[in-house]
Structure 1
Amino acid sequence: MAINYASKYAQKIDEKFARESMTSAAVNNDYDFVGVKTVNVYSVPTAEMNDYSVSGTSRYGTPQEIENTVQEMTMTRDRSFTFTIDRGTYNDTQMSNAAGAALQRQIREVVVPEIDKYRFGKICEGAKTTVTGKVTKANAYDAFLTGATTLIENNVPLVGSCAFVSSDFYKNIKEDSSFIRNGDMSQEILIKGQVGTIDGIPLIVVPKSYFPENVEFIITNQAATTSPVKLSEYKIHDNPPGINGWLVEGRVYYDAFVLENKKSAIYVFKTAE
């Protein structure tokens, strides 16, 4: 007999994922995927402002037809894992605790890194601005400021924005004399992996293996990307055929979507190949 523990562990896993994931600060959960795999997002464009006329038949200006644009977001990542726990290792009472610990370890060491890497890939893929250049300790701070000012010019609020940087970029900016004179590496640590802030933007150092190839840093606002994660199944089979113990099976849905009208809130810097 198999028991599905997904509902039992779902809330704890959500909390643990938020703590362990490096990308939690880069994404939002503004859309409800509960019970569905597809959500449609409707964007309504705006109309231009006109000078009001005190005469004529079109005193407010010429009416413009505005049409909704629809972005369909369908979760495509349907992932699973399985492992066994031998009965000689645990008794029945210990098994319940072991199952919870095993799930947390699976989430921390396997699921979270996989989702973080996937999210970074989608964020870079959806960025409106991707710049290619070479970062050294002489220009790292300037390269970062260019990214930040690009977001400002795109009317992206810096509140809710964060920067993810490679270890190489972090080393270069720490050795940049301009940053040493003018930068701010405040140590108010609020986000997983955060090492400080640069001009008010949280700075998070990420292993290079998490980034797409040649990416040095990303500045993004949380409003730009939504990324649902659902633990749909976590089953424990007691003494299945061929196993004296427990067979554990899990299934996780996840995905990441950059909103079409928020792509300007992402800036990516890559090194030249």
Structure 2
Amino acid sequence: MAINYITKDNGIFDQKITQGLLTTILGIPQVEFVNGGKSFTLTTISTSGLKNHTRNKGFNSGTYGNDKKVYTMGQDRDVEFYIDKQDVDETNQDLAVANISNVFITEHVQPEIDAYRFSTLAAGAGKTKEETITEKNAYSAIKAAILPARKFGPQNLVAFVSTTVMDALERSSEFTRNITNQNVGQTALESRVTSLDGVLLVEVWDDTRFKTKFDFTDGYAAAADAQDINILVVAKQAVIPVVKENTVFLFAPGEHSQGDGYLYQNRLYHDCFIKEQQKEGVSVSLAPKA
């Protein structure tokens, strides 16, 4: 790790342009963990249906059950940064804990959470289709991905789409649009499509997080056999994006015994699940394997 010491600096930083946490729109459901542990249970109640009445004495017997599915947390992540007090001073506050924390959260934590959730939902989707999307089929492809989940209500659906798909939809030859005063300001034209049939469209322009498989050994990196995701339709009530713990500790010099510096610690314990009986609420379109 290189530290550049300076004598004068204007405080301007050159950092990656990153997209915020996109999957926060799915919400954070409250679940009851088993005995305070790392698992929680959802119950599915089932009954038999009606039978023909014979008009004899009595009724037909029915059956019922309450099957339980256990969901176990798996993503327990953490990091620690130690920043020597003099490194902060001699870099003209470049390495101030606030700067390091901000870069860490925006460039690593938020994209990793999305990457894990997108890949997990894509792997467990109730419907999966491989296709190449162009301006000739973008509109139909999105509608086809939405169709299996429409029964959850369009107001409860979110369709995450890649920038490639959004660009293709913008130039789609499958429908005609009129440019009105609502699209044109004094100096700007807005042509992006933000919803389709009442379903919110969210563009994922950071394609590093929009893939089917990742290696989370050190941060997140696309696996060698990962595929690009074109479209991921999610019914909010069909998924459980759980955050059990998100803890940040900051110790100033003298508040710990690990050295004369600042100690930053961050732990994130989270996971994402698809409800067993509601897999139709997740639909994915994948780009063909390279």
**What band does the TM-score fall into relative to the shorter chain?**
0.7 to 0.9
Aligned residues of 1:138 and 1:177 also touching (Cα < 8 A): yes
CA distance in 2, matches of 1:43, 1:28: 21
CA distance in 1, matches of 2:279, 2:27: 13
Partner deviation per Cα, 1:132-187 (whole Å, 9 max, x = no partner): 222121111011111222223xx3211210100111111111111224449xxx99
Tell me by how many angstroms 1:101 deviates. 5.6
Greater CA drift, 217-226 or 243-252: 243-252
Aligned residues of 1:33 and 1:228 also touching (Cα < 8 A): no
Aligned residues of 1:33 and 1:39 also touching (Cα < 8 A): yes
Structure label with greater radius of gyration:
2
Instruction: Give the aligned partner of residue 43 of structure 1.
Output: 44
CA distance in 2, matches of 1:195, 1:101: 35
Partner deviation per Cα, 1:110-136 (whole Å, 9 max, x = no partner): 111111100011111121111122212
Aligned residues of 1:27 and 1:223 also touching (Cα < 8 A): no
- Between Structure 1 and Structure 2, the one with more helix by share is 1
Tell me by how many angstroms 1:99 deviates. 4.4
Partner deviation per Cα, 1:56-85 (whole Å, 9 max, x = no partner): 2453x441x222222212211111111122
Greater CA drift, 113-122 or 240-249: 240-249
Instruction: Give the aligned partner of residue 218 of structure 1.
Output: 232
CA distance in 2, matches of 1:251, 1:214: 29
1:201 maps to 2:199: yes
CA distance in 2, matches of 1:36, 1:70: 17
Amino-acid identity (%): 25
Tell me by how many angstroms 1:196 deviates. 1.4
Aligned residues of 1:28 and 1:222 also touching (Cα < 8 A): no
Partner deviation per Cα, 1:174-219 (whole Å, 9 max, x = no partner): 111224449xxx99xxxxxx96112211111112221221321011
Closer/same/farther in 2, CA of residues 46 and 159 from structure 1, 3 Å limit: farther
1:169 maps to 2:165: yes
Aligned residues of 2:240 and 2:274 also touching (Cα < 8 A): yes
TM-score under structure 2 length normalisation:
0.71
Closer/same/farther in 2, CA of residues 202 and 20 from structure 1, 3 Å limit: same
Aligned residues of 1:85 and 1:246 also touching (Cα < 8 A): yes
CA distance in 1, matches of 2:65, 2:145: 32
Tell me by how many angstroms 1:27 deviates. 4.7
Structure 2, unpaired ranges of 5+: 1-18, 184-191, 213-226
CA distance in 2, matches of 1:28, 1:248: 26
Over the aligned positions, Cα root-mean-square deviation in angstroms equals 2.9
TM-score under structure 1 length normalisation:
0.75
Instruction: Give the aligned partner of residue 266 of structure 1.
Output: 282
CA distance in 2, matches of 1:122, 1:20: 19
